[in-house]
Amino acid sequence: MHIKKYCIFIMTVLAFWTLGLQGGATAAPDPTEQMKPFLDNIITQLKSEEFQNDTTCNQCNRIVELASEHFDFREMSKRVMGKQWKHLTPQQQDQFTELFTKLLQYAYIGQVNEYVDKKIEFTGQRIKGNRAEVKTKLMDENKEIPVSYIMILKGDNWMTYDIIVEGVSLVRNYREQIFSVLREEQFAGLITLLEKKIANLEAGNDEG
Amino acid sequence: MKRNNVEIMVGVFLVLGFFSFAWLAMQLGEVPWLTGSSTYKVFADFDNISGVKAGAEVQIAGVTVGSVINLSLNEYDQARAELQINKSIKLPKDTIASVKSQGIIGDKLIQLTIGGDEEFYTAGEVIFDTESSVDLESLISKFAFGSVK
């Protein structure tokens, strides 16, 4: 009778232990392994003739659609906004996220063609808790540009919230600019400014 | 008997004097485990921290809020700076630490750009978002000599 009890106890412990092990193994996916196919897919799409012949507006939307798989534009907007984010209503947060995403897509669409021919080399990664950095190098015959993707783990996906090019952070760059606009012109002023800038970029008479 | 009283008074005075001296020394010397320090330590990892030395300032919006007390390498062979920050300053988790210089050729310092996260870094934690020193020479060479086309 006792032996049976012991057996049940040992088997329960073993069952929990193996479950725990499996849980541990699946808990943190590898950020580089997630980024590789993601970036490859984007580059292939950008190279396709269908994309090259499309209108700028469609190109922009396509890129954002592709990027949102591993780019968290809301997290990016939150970090760019800083302290002010908490004081915004959810509607204002959505409005800012939408405008900021648009600003990024129009500001960088002109440069997309420059990146299509470059090779991406993954040079390392570091993980700390739920955050990770994947380091890459954009290379062509005569230039090497270090680009790091800073990511946060959301569910099973590593989502990029900052890009560091040549040691300069995109979030910090915009955070400082937006801080000064907010100080002088408040949120309404910032929205007007962003809308104006996007309209200019859309019209194609502003280089970024 | 009278002489004894005087001796006791002198003894008490001496002991009191000694204690006040010890108290003064601790106050001025900031012995953390006795007085409770007015600063706390956090770390920040950088790819390249060249130019920053121990003793360099840590600033927020140009105001000095602490200093760099030690530089070492972490497990990824990155530079790890140990920062001593005033206790009154709270750093949200989305704070960005950047290596900047005072003027174009001035001393290097660490600039913290505060974010708006609800969680704050506690003593001993590592600031994840950092910007390294921009290597001007390699940037210039890249753009001056880079394109052959």
Per-position DSSP letters for B34-46, written without gaps between them: HH--SEEEEEEEE
> Checking DSSP bridges between strand A119-128 and strand B96-101, what pairing results, if any?
unpaired
Q: How far is the alpha carbon of A203 from chain B, nearest alpha carbon, in Å?
A: 30
What mean pLDDT value characterizes chain B?
Answer: 85
* Residue ranges of chain A with per-residue pLDDT less than 50: 19, 21-25, 206-208
Give the CA radius of gyration of chain B: 24
* Distance of alpha carbon B100 from alpha carbon A192, whole angstroms: 32
CATH of domain A31-203: 3.10.450.710
pLDDT band at residue B9, thresholds of 50, 70 and 90? very high
Q: Say how many C-beta atoms besides its own lie within 10 A of residue A146's C-beta.
A: 15
**Site of tokens 């980024």:** A35
More confident residue, B64 or A66: B64
For A94, phi then psi, to 5°, come to: -60, -40
pLDDT tens sequence across B87-131: 999 999 989 999 988 877 788 899 999 888 888 999 999 999 998
pLDDT at residue A146 in the model: 87
Q: How far is the alpha carbon of A169 from chain B, nearest alpha carbon, in Å?
A: 6
A chain contacts of residue B47, beta-carbon cutoff 8 Å: 167
**Site of tokens 């890459």:** A136
Question: How many CB contacts within 8 angstroms connect chain A with chain B?
Answer: 63
pLDDT (mean) for B25-30: 75
Q: How far is the alpha carbon of B142 from chain A, nearest alpha carbon, in Å?
A: 7
* Distance of alpha carbon B125 from alpha carbon B112, whole angstroms: 15
* Distance of alpha carbon A165 from alpha carbon A170, whole angstroms: 8
Domain boundaries, chain A: 31-203
Identify which of A14, A117, A106, A172 has the alpha carbon closest to the alpha carbon of residue B131. A172
Interface of A with B (CB under 8 A): 78-79, 81-86, 124, 126, 128, 131, 133, 141-145, 150, 162, 164, 166-169, 171-172, 175-176
Using the beta-carbon criterion (under 8 Å), do B116 and A172 form an inter-chain contact? no
DSSP secondary-structure letter at A136?
E
A chain contacts of residue B48, beta-carbon cutoff 8 Å: 167
pLDDT at residue A21 in the model: 47
pLDDT at residue A51 in the model: 78
SS3 A178: helix
pLDDT at residue B149 in the model: 41
* Distance of alpha carbon B36 from alpha carbon B32, whole angstroms: 5
Identify which of A127, A123, A120, A165 has the alpha carbon closest to the alpha carbon of residue A31. A127
How much is the ipTM here? 0.71
